[in-house]
Structure 1
Amino acid sequence: MLHIVNGDAFGSKLKQSRIPGEVLVWREIYTVGPVFAEPSEQGNRAIRAAYLEQAIGVPQAEFVRHSEEQERTLASFRDYGEVVLWFEYDLFDQTMLAYLLRWFSEQELGETKLKELSIGAFPGIERFRGLGQLSVPQLETLSGAWQAVSDEELELGAQLWSAYTADHPEQLAALLRGDTSALPFAREAFRAHLSKYPSAANGLGAVEQSTLDALTEQPSNPIDLFRMISEQHHVLGMGDLEYWGILRELAAGEEPLVRIDGTAALPDFQGMPDDFASNQIGVTELGRRIREGRADRIARCGIDRWYGGVHLRGREVAWRRD
């Protein structure tokens, strides 16, 4: 049996459990940077690797090595009687699930049975945020709870991946207006993705808007700020590296929207500076004006951001959220 899981924290616990099988941690962040319909193509991988190194500090060579290793393991799936996909309700997980369902939809499964376990709640946990919350005994209660992946799930996963990696958002918006019940968490997760697009009112995505709202109330240290914003937008499944990248953009340029008072740089993949938590984040006057809709972030500062397969850049962009 092969278990494909969403992260090292849960993967480590699964390895400690009495649930039989090997564990493949799918190490990707499809919510950050350029994402292509065929990510394993050499040119696409090179573009993505270069972006992730620049944006969040993931070394290009390490990204390529991990990608190739996990793809080799995935390609050996016929060596296992069962393959179980473990994923959660949020966008971070649903993008991975969509990719894997698309990939399996193009394979001859042979004797291998493809199963899935996707959850958005767990008994006794009031605010369930992910499988990593579970203790080893708790996750062992899920053994055998997985269900066979249906043709409808494979088809919808393939459609979601195609729409997510398209160079325009209309395909995804149209898909979400239809029947997505085969994957019960998909609609909310991918609608959250669309909320990241710049607003027609002021050019801010939902996360940036929430950040400026919070900082207008009072300045904050970055750790508390991340906890607040990630909880508010928990459907995104946003990790700290993704958020530091957003904060870095808000603080960049000649007209920043936030100011960072302190000596420690924002963290990246290489780690967090010891004195990082002592920094204070505040909103600038321009940030206040944009937050209130009295100025437009893209017109003033421009944008260079990927949303799945959509690349928005410059001071006039094709797609905004209304």
Structure 2
Amino acid sequence: MRYATACHDGRINLEQQRKRAKELLRQLKAADPQAWQAMRTHSLASTPAEVRLADAQCLIARELGFASWPKLKAHLDAVAFAARQPNFRADDEAATLHLRCGNDISHTLRLAGFQGEFHSFIDPLVMGPVPDLPLPEYLAVRSEFVAATFAMNASDVLAGSQREYALLERLHEYSRVVLWCEADAYDQLFLIRVLAGAQQLPERFELIEIDRVPGVERFIGIGQLAPDLLAWLWPQRRVLGTAAISLARQAWSAYSSADPRVWAELAQAETPALPLLGPALRRQLQELPGIHDGLSLTERLSLGLVAEREQPTFGLVFAQLMSRAEPLPYLGDMMFHALLRPLLDSATPLLREEHPELPWPKRPLQLTELGREVLAGRRYWLDCDAPERWVGGVRLRAGEPHWCIDDQMRPMLRG
């Protein structure tokens, strides 16, 4: 049982936490066993006679991710200061370009007082072919995939992609470019794509990236944060130097290669110039077929969630994946739906959906007999009629030799 009140958008109500601490103190004084189990987990006071309000406050703070109650208060003071800092607006010049792998924070940035330009780079590089091709051919391949996958107009998608990549050639026209990223593969691939594609660097090239926010129990993305938390993040940006640019170019070359072995080596290495890149590359490597079942990790986790319940809905499976099963959440709902369609639409499906007349999130799902066999590792998905798919520059086709990963996430050729 948690005694702190967690938040979703990063805003912690100190008065609410004070009330929680006083209630917790009453429970501790009454020798409540659950409260005392939590206290002993954090090595705090040992008996009801000894316990003080400071002990209860310390437990609340630690459950929110802080070492102590004063550290919690200091964080809240820093957030409040950032939100009212009189020099804040002046520091974010109109000539600043804010670049993000989506449009989820542009409105919140404006609410927080940012005044630069806001642009999105939304190519979902975690999905579909990412081949090593000259840019015009690459954009044609990516646009065709995105249009077909999300039922969009191909010419509109291509035009949008051309605008996004043209911006990379103009970054030097801005006095400052700031990239906003989190730790997942969607964001980190966006990061290395931008850094690798930048032709001339701006005068100031900076990065804001986070993998957690104090008080947020399950941090998924910057888009969930309140405006004052974005203001708090602003002073934490850091300069992107030559080491980061060099690493990004190396990582992008590895990810877009048809041979994943260099990618796997980078994924296992330390990446101090871009510290969140290594874990993201490792997670994305797990989208290659597993050696025992031929499934990506997303497919395996999703089939497992369907197996847990009696005909769970598409939407429930997605919610469970994002809230507890996925180790590094990166999918939007439409991306999740697109990734699971091949398991439904194959000539040898692993999943079956009921009531197709309903919106897809409300359709019940169940495993087919083949789905149960594959999930158990008794059949291999790419030995069946699995649809073609790509992970980065790696093409996967049923019945043909292909790359997969073993239990230590080492790439190996199969077939």
State the distance in 2 between where 1:305 and 1:276 align: 22
Contact 2:171–2:201 at 8 Å: present in 1 too? no
Larger Rg: 2
Evaluate the alpha carbon distance shift between residue 234 and residue 64 of structure 1 in structure 2; reply closer, same or farther with a 3 A threshold: farther
2:191 matches 1:100: no
What is the Cα-based RMSD across aligned positions, in Å?
1.8
Contact 2:257–2:394 at 8 Å: present in 1 too? yes
Q: Which moves more between the two structures, 247-256 or 284-293?
A: 247-256
How far has the Cα of 1:37 moved from its partner? 4.1
- Residue 257 of structure 1 aligns with which residue? 350
1:5 aligned to which of 100, 111, 114: 100
1:25 aligned to which of 99, 108, 120: 120
Offset from partner CA, 1:21-70 (integer Å, 9 cap, x none): 1111112111111113457x222211221122222223211211212222
**Which letter maps to 2:166?**
R
Evaluate the alpha carbon distance shift between residue 150 and residue 78 of structure 1 in structure 2; reply closer, same or farther with a 3 A threshold: closer
State the distance in 2 between where 1:38 and 1:19 align: 37
- Residue 125 of structure 1 aligns with which residue? 216
Q: Secondary structure of the residue that 1:102 maps to in structure 2?
A: helix
Evaluate the alpha carbon distance shift between residue 245 and residue 4 of structure 1 in structure 2; reply closer, same or farther with a 3 A threshold: same
Evaluate the alpha carbon distance shift between residue 234 and residue 13 of structure 1 in structure 2; reply closer, same or farther with a 3 A threshold: farther
Alignment of 1:24-173 (within 5 A): 24-37=119-132, 41-104=135-198, 106-109=199-202, 112-173=203-264
- Residue 233 of structure 1 aligns with which residue? 326
Contact 2:100–2:181 at 8 Å: present in 1 too? yes
1:248 aligned to which of 310, 321, 341: 341
**Which letter maps to 1:183?**
L
How far has the Cα of 1:186 moved from its partner? 0.9
State the distance in 2 between where 1:74 and 1:198 align: 33
State the distance in 2 between where 1:317 and 1:233 align: 28
2:109 aligned to which of 2, 11, 14: 14
- Residue 287 of structure 2 aligns with which residue? 196
Unaligned runs of 5+ residues in structure 2 are 1-95, 407-415
Evaluate the alpha carbon distance shift between residue 230 and residue 38 of structure 1 in structure 2; reply closer, same or farther with a 3 A threshold: farther
Contact 2:172–2:201 at 8 Å: present in 1 too? no
**Which letter maps to 2:334?**
L
State the distance in 2 between where 1:3 and 1:37 align: 27
Contact 1:87–1:97 at 8 Å: present in 2 too? yes
State the distance in 2 between where 1:86 and 1:27 align: 13
Evaluate the alpha carbon distance shift between residue 178 and residue 254 of structure 1 in structure 2; reply closer, same or farther with a 3 A threshold: closer
Contact 1:129–1:234 at 8 Å: present in 2 too? no
Matched residue count: 309
How far has the Cα of 1:225 moved from its partner? 0.7
How far has the Cα of 1:143 moved from its partner? 2.2
**Which letter maps to 1:286?**
L
How far has the Cα of 1:216 moved from its partner? 1.5
Contact 1:37–1:161 at 8 Å: present in 2 too? no
Offset from partner CA, 1:273-321 (integer Å, 9 cap, x none): x643431001111111111111111112234011011111131332111
Identity %: 28
Alignment of 1:171-210 (within 5 A): 171-210=262-301
Contact 1:221–1:278 at 8 Å: present in 2 too? yes
Contact 1:15–1:23 at 8 Å: present in 2 too? no
Contact 2:294–2:381 at 8 Å: present in 1 too? yes
How far has the Cα of 1:254 moved from its partner? 2.7
Offset from partner CA, 1:197-232 (integer Å, 9 cap, x none): 111111111111112211112221111111112332
- Residue 270 of structure 1 aligns with which residue? none
Evaluate the alpha carbon distance shift between residue 91 and residue 130 of structure 1 in structure 2; reply closer, same or farther with a 3 A threshold: same
2:305 matches 1:214: yes
Evaluate the alpha carbon distance shift between residue 297 and residue 224 of structure 1 in structure 2; reply closer, same or farther with a 3 A threshold: same
Q: Which is bigger in relative contact order (C-alpha 8 A, separation at least 6)?
A: 1
Unaligned runs of 5+ residues in structure 1 are 265-273
- Residue 309 of structure 1 aligns with which residue? 393
Q: Secondary structure of the residue that 2:384 maps to in structure 1?
A: helix
State the distance in 1 between where 2:167 and 2:197 align: 13
Contact 2:395–2:402 at 8 Å: present in 1 too? no
1:299 aligned to which of 383, 386, 405: 383
2:378 matches 1:283: no
**Which letter maps to 1:30?**
L
